[in-house]
Amino acid sequence: MNEDAISIEDAVMEEKIRNIDTVDHEDGSSTIRMDLDEETQGILIKQGLQYLIDEMKVTDNMKVLSANEFSEGTKTHNLTDDEANALFHFGFLYAIKAGMKGLENEL
């Protein structure tokens, strides 16, 4: 897990994630509802982007020979609600997977 990554367990303990409610469905899926502070939401969105980048590097076998230089304006992008929501969900999955790997390492 990278240094900016959030641990779901730590976020719950620090009360950055509150009011967790899980509804199980007949098909085996679940709906999880929770309140998160803005910082945690932002970290999860950033993790979602990192997750996609990591997955694409593996799938596309991408190699960057030298770093490109971008202006601050170019690196800043306003996300739509749909884009932020998708990245948030990928970030949440990333955090869960990282936590599961951590548990495997402890066993």
| Cα–Cα dist 91/2, whole Å | 12
pTM, full prediction: 0.66
Radius of gyration of the chain (CA): 16
pLDDT tens-digit profile, the chain (107 residues): 445 566 666 665 566 777 778 899 999 998 888 888 888 888 889 889 988 988 888 787 767 778 788 888 888 888 999 999 999 999 888 887 877 676 566 65
| Cα–Cα dist 85/42, whole Å | 11
At position 46, the amino acid (one-letter code) is K
| Cα–Cα dist 22/32, whole Å | 5
